[in-house]
Amino acid sequence: MKRLVLLSQYEFLKREFEYLEQIGRIGPGKSLELIQCYEIKQAEIEKKAPVSLNFVQILLIIGAALIGLGILSFVASNWKGLTEFEKFAILLLGLIAAYVSAWLFEEKKPGVSKVLYYIGVFAYGGEIFYVGQMFHLGGEVGNALLAWAIGTLPLAFYLKDKVLYIFGFGLLYLGLEAKFLLDESPSYMILLLLPILFAAGHFLMNRNRILLYVNFALLYQFIEAKFMFTEGGASYVMVAVIPLFFAMWHYFLKKNNFILIANFFLLYQFIEMKFAVEIAEGTKYNFPIVLTVLIPILYFIGHQWMNKSIPLFAANFVLTLQWIIITMMYFDVDVVGYYLLVLFVIGMVISHLQHPDYQSILKIFGFSIQFSTGIILTIPYVWSNLVTDVPIWLIFGILYSIYILFLVYRQYLMGVIMFSILILRFYVDISLVFMNKSIAFFIGGLLLITLGFWIEKTRRGDKKNEKL
């Protein structure tokens, strides 16, 4: 009679017997003979079964989804061969047959039962959309999605099925979006529904964090649509709403980083819309007084209160660049090249001089700004409003090339990449004017290959200055 052991014990004994056989303590073939004296307990085998069934369950879900999509596509197409009653009857009978069969198979074949329930859910959705077609209720997609969700979620709670939970709540939130938030003036009804959604996530779904985040996202989206993007005084409601959200985070949700990030996103979006974009899009440019006051405060908050936050510093830096551009617009600077030149100088400075607390992000900003603006400044068009015969674009291009060649000489990988792109930029200009297209493409391809080998050789080289 074989001795019953746990699965973990069986696997341990098997490894030990094989080890003893390898070192010669027991004879050849004895490990197999000894392990056959043991047997895994049946309960342990059953515990392990779900691991192998997961793949089958996935296949069943995919199969059910495909059948359901087939039903929906059947509804969406014009089935000219059937009358309206026949179409309605087919869908209704399919729905009833799926649910009744699923109920009958619940105990005997739970996997088959689940698949039939999934098919029934899709059939139910098809029935809803077809009823809308029959009675010419097209356009109310939100109502149809909400009705589908209302029919799906009770089944999800009954079966305690994660797939149906996700599908049902997905339909619910899509329906709420379509019904209440996609209009020109979002409905205040969403504010009455949100407490119910928060309560459902807290009590029915055992404080589900994903539903909490989705509910907050829905709330923030309503506020943005209702107040942020409206003209006139309504947008200044945000002045009261944003501090309220920060207070809510501080007193009730202080450990929740998602809410904090969302609050800062809302704050910067409001500042951007009201005090940067509106001024830039206006017919008369005003001096950005509010931005002038806010930017130092935001830097202080990010540095002192938010533990030198890199994302906040990046957002503040972008606001600073916008403040510079808007200020230049206020002083009627009409040459595009001057705007780019100022940004280029800023990029050059922060490429080589950084605050130690924000060194990495400033380097990224520096090289991104100086190289993007540097390439554009070599294009004659950006200097077109400047009345002069001096080819500033060419002089700038030569000076910038000297700087990049210095980086190449110092074996900086970034310098090699920048010089390669600069060569391609001037090659495109020359080839468009003087060369046949086929020759230009051929030489351009050879040039790209050569530059690629050069970059790769530099990358694999010493690399002592690669970080720059």
pLDDT tens-digit series, residues 293-303: 999 999 999 99
Q: How far apart are CA 247 and CA 437, in angstroms?
A: 63
Secondary structure class of 464 (helix, strand, coil):
coil
pLDDT at 53: 45
Q: Report the pLDDT averaged over residues 53-63.
A: 63
Picking from 86, 160, 75, the residue whose alpha carbon sits closest to that of residue 117 is 160
Amino acid found at 189: M
How far from chain centre, in Å, is Cα 309? Answer: 21
pLDDT at residue 23 tops 70? yes
Q: How far apart are CA 442 and CA 438, in angstroms?
A: 6
pLDDT at 115: 84
pLDDT at residue 457 tops 70? no
Which of 2-16, 50-64, 92-106, 381-395 has the lowest average pLDDT? 50-64
Picking from 215, 216, 198, the residue whose alpha carbon sits closest to that of residue 207 is 198
pLDDT at 122: 85
Dig out the tokens for 291 from the structure: 């931005």
pLDDT tens profile 62-74? 777 777 677 667 6
Q: Report the pLDDT averaged over residues 387-403.
A: 86
Which of 137-151, 346-360, 364-378, 436-450 has the lowest average pLDDT? 436-450
Picking from 267, 263, 234, the residue whose alpha carbon sits closest to that of residue 247 is 263
pLDDT at 46: 47
pLDDT at 5: 81
pLDDT at 353: 93
- How would residue 170 be classed by pLDDT, with cut points 50, 70 and 90? very high
Secondary structure class of 183 (helix, strand, coil):
coil
CA angle centred on 414, ends 410 and 420, rounded to 5°: 100
pLDDT at 320: 96
Label residue 433 exposed, middle or buried (CB < 10 Å: 0-12, 13-18, 19+).
exposed
pLDDT at residue 234 tops 70? no
Q: What does the buried/exposed string (b/e) look like for 321-338 if buried means 16 or more CB atoms within 10 Å of the residue's CB?
A: ebbebbbbbeeeeebbbe
pLDDT at 206: 86
Token look-up 């790209």 returns 448
- How would residue 338 be classed by pLDDT, with cut points 50, 70 and 90? very high
pLDDT tens profile 271-284? 988 888 877 766 55
CA angle centred on 404, ends 400 and 406, rounded to 5°: 115
pLDDT at residue 49 tops 50? no
What pTM was computed for the model?
Answer: 0.66
Dig out the tokens for 24 from the structure: 């010669």
pLDDT at 282: 62
Dihedral Cα 235, 241, 242, 244, nearest 10 deg: 170
pLDDT tens profile 176-233? 998 888 877 788 899 999 999 999 998 988 888 899 999 999 999 999 888 887 766 6
Dihedral Cα 393, 399, 405, 409, nearest 10 deg: -170
pLDDT at residue 76 tops 60? no
φ, ψ for residue 404 (rounded to 5)? Answer: -65, -40
Terminal C-alpha separation, the chain: 73
Count CA atoms within 13 Å of residue 134 on its CB side. 15
Q: How far apart are CA 150 and CA 121, in angstroms?
A: 11
Q: Report the pLDDT averaged over residues 25-49.
A: 73
pLDDT at residue 466 tops 50? no
pLDDT at 213: 92
More confident position, 86 or 304: 304
- How would residue 52 be classed by pLDDT, with cut points 50, 70 and 90? very low
Amino acid found at 77: S
Label residue 219 exposed, middle or buried (CB < 10 Å: 0-12, 13-18, 19+).
middle
